């Protein structure tokens, strides 16, 4: 505990210091790290942000693109005069950027307030559309984000029946099991493109093909996948797709629902005629501009960024599994998001690790950020068959393009120090050793 004590008594850091560094055409702001009560605590003198699956910093290029749409060009896109036309054009430009990224028509892109809204719209809108024709069965997987699972729970209370497809030990949904689960009264199938906790990339094209063959609408929550892995809604047989700007260095508060032409979920927000009368509410113009730009950059630089993130991810996975005993990687080693490392540390509870990392200036996550107020272990980890006690000791490290090999090395050094220290006071570890 000497090290922790010394951390506690180090002095406070003075003013916040920002410096920029260049990562393939994107400028990010790195913040000097200072804990409000503990003072400066890490050797690198800055915050190490390894929770890019929770959210990402807005890139400077994106911010520059957004700024004119607050004070200068503030017209309502629905207004019929010059400054209204300007903002309408800006939205249409972003719509084109998103359509190019997904390989669809701009008219099939609808801007929303967030990924959660997109999921709610696709699921509840489809359920209500088909309920009128007697179809009240929905299919999803056991490892979806709560935006999907809680939408399903809400529909169950309204008399809908939901099938939750199990996943295998790596987190994969089986297209064969999906085929068997589809019934004549199935209204919608929704399976996420990549899991937010364990990073597993689902066989979306195959799952979509099964739905196409059976004539059932297919939605995918691509919030973690968009900007990180290639997406083509034609090749992948996708009817609806949700994404969110803040996961790929865009702003918070702006999402997209792609809806294939001919697919018609009921509207979720009723009101004015925005978004081709499908999603009411005055548009978040700056956010939409930022989303379009961020996705354009993410897709243009995907290859190099993905390779960079994979390098950091695989370095951490390999070193931790080699140097720290009784650890395991969750999810598939290859078919996983380029920035995601999800590792269980036996004999420990995740929050302990989370707090220790925070004291060393490292931001990571136990399970997923959405769950940090709940005491139950992650439903995803339980679904892949982890026992509760191992699920409790699981950490997610998610790398972004701004992270460096130095960050990955520092994470490993800190883990190699704190894990044995905390295990020494764990009765579970103590019993395991006897």
Partner 1 sequence: MGMYSAKVMDHFANPRNVGEMADANGVGEVGNAKCGDIMRMYLKIENNTIVDVRFMTFGCGAAIATSSMATELIKGKSLDDALKLTNKAVVEALDGLPPVKVHCSVLAEQAIKAAIADYYTRLGIDPEPIVGKLADDAHDHHHDCSCEGGCDCEH
Over the window 356 to 385, marking each residue x when it contacts partner 1 by CB under 8 A and - when it does not, the resulting string is ---x-------------xxxxx--------
Does 433 interact with partner 1 (rule: CB under 8 A)?
Answer: no
For residue 63, give every residue at least 6 positions away whose Cβ sits within 8 Å of its Cβ, in sequence order, or none: 290
Does 37 interact with partner 1 (rule: CB under 8 A)?
Answer: yes
Nearer to partner 1, 317 or 384 (CB): 384
Q: Which of 71, 104, 254, 370 is catalytic?
A: 370
Does 266 interact with partner 1 (rule: CB under 8 A)?
Answer: no
Over the window 331 to 350, marking each residue x when it contacts partner 1 by CB under 8 A and - when it does not, the resulting string is ----------------xxx-
Nearer to partner 1, 188 or 395 (CB): 395
Cα–Cα distance for residue pair 280/55, rounded to 1 Å: 26
Range in contact with partner 1 (rule: CB under 8 A) among 69-77, 90-98, 202-210, 388-396: 388-396
The radius of gyration computed from the CA coordinates of the chain, to the nearest angstrom, equals: 23
- As measured in angstroms, the least distance from the Cβ of 36 to partner 1 is 8
Residue with tokens 């597993």: 200
Beta strands in 234-332 (DSSP E): 240-244, 255-259, 327-329
Nearer to partner 1, 3 or 406 (CB): 3
Nearer to partner 1, 284 or 378 (CB): 378
For residue 151, give every residue at least 6 positions away whose Cβ sits within 8 Å of its Cβ, in sequence order, or none: 119, 120, 123, 124
Residue with tokens 């090395």: 409
Range in contact with partner 1 (rule: CB under 8 A) among 5-13, 116-124, 239-247, 289-297: 5-13
Q: Which of 387, 405, 406, 416 binds partner 1 (CB under 8 A)?
A: 387
Nearer to partner 1, 311 or 371 (CB): 371
- As measured in angstroms, the least distance from the Cβ of 193 to partner 1 is 28
Q: Phi/psi of residue 101, each to 5°?
A: -65, -30
- As measured in angstroms, the least distance from the Cβ of 39 to partner 1 is 12
DSSP class of 363: E
Q: Which two tokens stand for residue 340?
A: 């995601």
Does 7 interact with partner 1 (rule: CB under 8 A)?
Answer: yes
Contact status, residue 367 vs residue 205, Cβ threshold 8 Å:
no
Nearer to partner 1, 158 or 430 (CB): 430
Contact status, residue 366 vs residue 396, Cβ threshold 8 Å:
yes
Residue 272 sits at the vertex; the CA angle it makes with 269 and 275, to the nearest 5 degrees, is 75
Would you call 370 a catalytic residue per the annotation?
Answer: yes
Range in contact with partner 1 (rule: CB under 8 A) among 85-93, 107-115, 153-161, 352-360: 352-360
Over the window 288 to 327, marking each residue x when it contacts partner 1 by CB under 8 A and - when it does not, the resulting string is ----------------------------------------
Total residues at the site for partner 1 (CB under 8 A)? Answer: 31
Nearer to partner 1, 336 or 392 (CB): 392
Q: Which two tokens stand for residue 73?
A: 């060009």
For residue 322, give every residue at least 6 positions away whose Cβ sits within 8 Å of its Cβ, in sequence order, or none: none
Cα–Cα distance for residue pair 380/390, rounded to 1 Å: 13
Residue 223 sits at the vertex; the CA angle it makes with 222 and 228, to the nearest 5 degrees, is 80
Beta strands in 280-331 (DSSP E): 327-329
Distances (CA, A) of 145 to 140, 177, 211: 11, 20, 21
Does 389 interact with partner 1 (rule: CB under 8 A)?
Answer: yes
Range in contact with partner 1 (rule: CB under 8 A) among 33-41, 54-62, 113-121, 262-270: 33-41
DSSP string, 393-418: TEEEEE--TT--HHHHHHHHHHHHHH
Give catalytic residue positions: 370
What residues line the site for partner 1 (CB under 8 A)? 1, 4-5, 7-8, 36-38, 347-349, 351-352, 355, 359, 373-377, 387-389, 392, 424-430
């Amino acid at each position: 505990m000497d090290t922790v004590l010394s951390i506690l008594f180090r002095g406070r850091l003075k003013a916040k210091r920002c410096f920029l560094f260049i990562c393939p055409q994107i400028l990010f702001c790195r913040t000097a790290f200072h804990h409000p009560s503990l003072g400066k605590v890490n050797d690198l003198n800055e915050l190490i942000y390894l929770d890019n699956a929770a959210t990402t910093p807005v890139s400077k290029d994106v911010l520059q693109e957004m700024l004119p749409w607050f004070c200068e060009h503030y017209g309502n896109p629905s207004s019929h005069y010059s400054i209204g036309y300007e903002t309408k054009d800006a939205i249409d430009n972003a719509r084109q950027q998103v359509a190019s990224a997904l390989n669809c028509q701009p008219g099939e892109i609808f801007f929303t307030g967030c990924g959660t809204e997109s999921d709610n719209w696709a699921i509840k809108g489809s359920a209500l559309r088909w309920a009128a024709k007697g179809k009240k069965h929905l299919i999803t997987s056991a490892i979806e984000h709560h935006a999907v699972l809680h939408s399903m729970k809400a529909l169950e209370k309204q008399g809908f029946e939901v099938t939750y497809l199990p996943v295998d030990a790596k987190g994969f949904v089986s297209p064969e099991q999906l085929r068997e689960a589809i019934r004549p009264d199935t209204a919608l199938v929704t399976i996420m493109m990549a899991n937010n906790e364990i990073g597993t990339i689902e066989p979306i094209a195959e799952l979509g093909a099964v739905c196409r063959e059976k004539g059932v609408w297919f939605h995918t929550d691509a919030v973690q996948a968009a900007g990180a892995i290639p997406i083509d809604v034609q090749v992948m047989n996708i009817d609806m797709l949700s994404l969110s700007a803040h996961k790929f260095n865009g702003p918070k508060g702006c999402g997209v629902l792609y809806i294939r032409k001919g697919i018609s979920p009921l509207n979720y927000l009723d009101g004015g005629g925005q978004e081709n009368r499908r999603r009411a509410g005055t548009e978040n113009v700056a956010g939409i501009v930022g989303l379009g730009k961020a996705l354009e950059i993410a897709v243009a630089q995907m290859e190099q960024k993905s390779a960079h993130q994979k390098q950091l991810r695989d370095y951490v996975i390999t070193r931790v599994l080699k140097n720290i005993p009784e650890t395991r990687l969750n999810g598939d080693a290859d078919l996983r998001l380029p920035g995601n490392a999800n590792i269980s540390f036996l004999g420990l509870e995740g929050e302990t690790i989370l707090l220790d990392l925070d004291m060393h200036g490292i931001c990571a996550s136990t399970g997923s950020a959405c769950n940090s107020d709940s005491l139950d272990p992650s439903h995803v980890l339980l679904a892949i068959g982890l026992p509760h006690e191992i699920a409790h000791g699981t950490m997610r490290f998610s790398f972004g393009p701004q992270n460096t090999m130095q960050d990955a090395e520092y994470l490993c050094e800190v883990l190699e120090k704190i894990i044995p220290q905390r295990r020494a006071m764990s009765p579970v570890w103590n019993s395991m050793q006897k």
